[in-house]
Structure formats: structure tokens, C-alpha cells
Amino acid sequence: MTERVVVLGRDFRGWAVGEYSGVGQYGPFSFRYYVTECCGADGKGVEHGVACRACYRPLPIEFGGEPGELETVFGDGISVERFRELVKA
């Protein structure tokens, strides 16, 4: 199976949007998700809402939803590792 994870851009809220895509047993797949600014991770449902999967910082409940249209696009996307470097700077 081949996989690709990139940060595509930002939505109308200014939240970073990532995309996980690849080719699996049943063909191509992809899904988008929000990427945290604190750790460059995705959100995780917790007892009282949504939190960063890496550091468990509380996030707005909308962070657990599906991202909409991008308002800012990072070309063909940047790697999650590069995004983490940029937000830590």
C-alpha cells in the first residue's frame, strides 16, 4: 500500500487542513482532516470534546468535523514534518 500525507492549506477559519491518501486493497482513497498548530497532529475525540492527539490540548468542537473548502492553498501540499517545523518556529 502506498500512502501520502500532506498539509494542503487553510480553511476560512485559518485552520490547517491535511490530506491522507493512498492506494489500498480496494483501490485509491483519501480523506481530509484538521491539523493542529501546536503539534502538527490531528484531533482526537476525548471525554469532554476534542483534543490534539499529540499533546491533548483542548480544541474547539468543530475541529472534529470535516474540513470545507480551502481559502489558502500550499501548492501541491507540504509534508507534515515541514508543517511541524514551520509552526514550531
Q: Dmax of the chain from CA atoms?
A: 40
CB crowding 20-30: b at 16 or more within 10 Å, else e: eeeeeeeeeee
In this predicted structure, what is the pLDDT of residue 12? 93
Lowest mean pLDDT across 1-10, 19-28, 29-38? 1-10
In this predicted structure, what is the pLDDT of residue 54? 93
Mean per-residue pLDDT for 28-57? 92
Number of domains in the chain: 1
- Cell triple for 64: 472534529
* Beta strand extents in the chain (DSSP E only): 2-10, 16-24, 27-35, 43-46, 49-52, 58-59, 72-79
d(Cα 61, Cα 65) in Å, to the nearest integer?
8
In this predicted structure, what is the pLDDT of residue 87? 78
Mean per-residue pLDDT for 70-74? 92
- Cell triple for 48: 469532554
d(Cα 83, Cα 54) in Å, to the nearest integer?
15
In this predicted structure, what is the pLDDT of residue 15? 93
Domain of residue 12: give its range: 2-88
Asked if residue 72 has pLDDT above 70, the reply is yes
